Structure 1
Amino acid sequence: MSSQPVTAGEAEEQTRSWLAEFVVGLNLCPFARPLLSSPALRISVCSAHERADLHHAFLAELDLLQSRSEADIATTLLVFPQALAGFDDYLDFLAEAQPMLEQVGLDGVVQLASFHPDYRFEGEPEDAASHFTNRSPWPTVHLLREAMLTRLLASYPDPESIPEDNIAHLERLGREELEGRWQALFDAPGRPR
């Protein structure tokens, strides 16, 4: 991830590249491919720094998601390229976001998924390949419609196997291969550094 400030457009471009090359390219989410080029995939970039502004952006995205149909906005990725760079800061934000979700009555309606450039699963070795299942170019909160997710999982043969299959796949690829693919997201011509 770059230490230089990036524009919202650059952050969105890198997020889309990550979705194409990691999430879909490595089949980490079997449901993502149809949304990749769909206008119903919303990527919202919040360039704010202050925590209150981050909260406002989160609540605004929740409101927008609920005010629009699934056909208009199926799911939202809220990206923070200028804040939450430290993984612990990001986890603190998530700990604040869940109660906000509950306070606005969307617990059970919207589910949050978390992604961060330095994502680390507790209890896993620091160099474990499994961390790449939740690594993204920028701190990101994925707002998922629970009804849509339930419907997709019901049509998938063995949804409980997805996390284990992802970890096994990434371990087969190996840390060196994953690091190379990760770096390519930032080194490709025309992409911000």
Structure 2
Amino acid sequence: MNRDEVIAATRQWLEKAVIGLNLCPFAKSVYVKTQVRFVVSDAKHTDAFLEELDRELDFLAAADPQEVDTTLLIHPTLFSDFLDFNEIAGIAEEAVVEHELEGILQVASFHPRFQFEDSAEDDIANFTNRSPFPSLHLLREESIERAVAAYPEAESIYERNIETLQKLGHAGWKALGVPDGQDGEK
């Protein structure tokens, strides 16, 4: 897949699942204002990817939030194993601290094979964090705080998302036509 196809698949996931199912009630406003930066990495190894992460952390911290509020750093091929990617997500959180951006930025991670601890691989609840490609979502804490203040009972989003997906089921998820990134197909 080329860069444009990766971004198109990621946008489709955002529009149909994240925004369409309201899995993140904060996503729509920054997405429709085109304040989401999509960065597709073609790093050949983990160290090069982590260097890109460093650059993106610095970029986002310095960017005008009205122009770029959040970044999705996507790598379509390097991290097919979820547990390996989960380690990268942990390193990304450490990088926030190293860049002295704690309290300013935070990292969320999404993966095509995301799996909650102690859940079965095919548990529909896992799909709350499944994306077409391994992605690190760099977020401004200030934006999260504003969104949480405006959203009643923000702490219940996680449970509501699982409920939504349980009602939808695997057939409903498949019917959304969200690219799953596991085989390059929908």
Structure 1 position 101, deviation (Å): 1.4
Match of 1:119 in 2: 114
Change (3 A) 1:186 1:158: closer
Which structure 2 residues correspond to residues 1-193 of structure 1 after superposition, within 5 A?
Answer: 6-181=1-176, 184-186=177-179, 193=185
Tell me, which stretches of 5 or more residues in structure 1 are unaligned? 1-5
Aligned residues with identical type, % of pairs: 37
Structure 1 position 109, deviation (Å): 1.1
With normalisation by structure 2, the TM-score equals: 0.93
Structure 1 position 34, deviation (Å): 1.7
Deviates more, 1:132-141 or 1:40-49: 40-49
Q: Is contact 1:49–1:82 with CA below 8 Å preserved after alignment? A: no
Alpha-carbon separation, structure 2, partners of 1:10 and 1:25: 20
With normalisation by structure 1, the TM-score equals: 0.89
Alpha-carbon separation, structure 1, partners of 2:33 and 2:54: 23
Alpha-carbon separation, structure 1, partners of 2:57 and 2:96: 8
Structure 1 position 81, deviation (Å): 0.8
Alpha-carbon separation, structure 2, partners of 1:51 and 1:186: 24
Q: Is contact 1:48–1:82 with CA below 8 Å preserved after alignment? A: no
Question: How many pairs are equivalent?
Answer: 182
What amino acid sits opposite 1:36 in the alignment?
Y
What amino acid sits opposite 1:38 in the alignment?
K
Structure 1 position 31, deviation (Å): 1.1
Deviates more, 1:15-24 or 1:101-110: 101-110
What amino acid sits opposite 1:114 in the alignment?
S
Structure 1 position 41, deviation (Å): 1.1
Q: Is contact 2:13–2:179 with CA below 8 Å preserved after alignment? A: no
Alpha-carbon separation, structure 2, partners of 1:68 and 1:126: 38
Structure 1 position 58, deviation (Å): 0.4
Structure 1 position 83, deviation (Å): 0.9
Deviates more, 1:138-147 or 1:92-101: 92-101
Structure 1 position 63, deviation (Å): 0.7
Change (3 A) 1:65 1:14: same
Per-residue deviation, residues 4-62 of structure 1 (Å, max 9, x unmatched): xx111110110000000000111101111122232211111111121111011101110
Q: CA RMSD in A?
A: 1.5
Alpha-carbon separation, structure 1, partners of 2:104 and 2:30: 20
Alpha-carbon separation, structure 2, partners of 1:83 and 1:49: 7
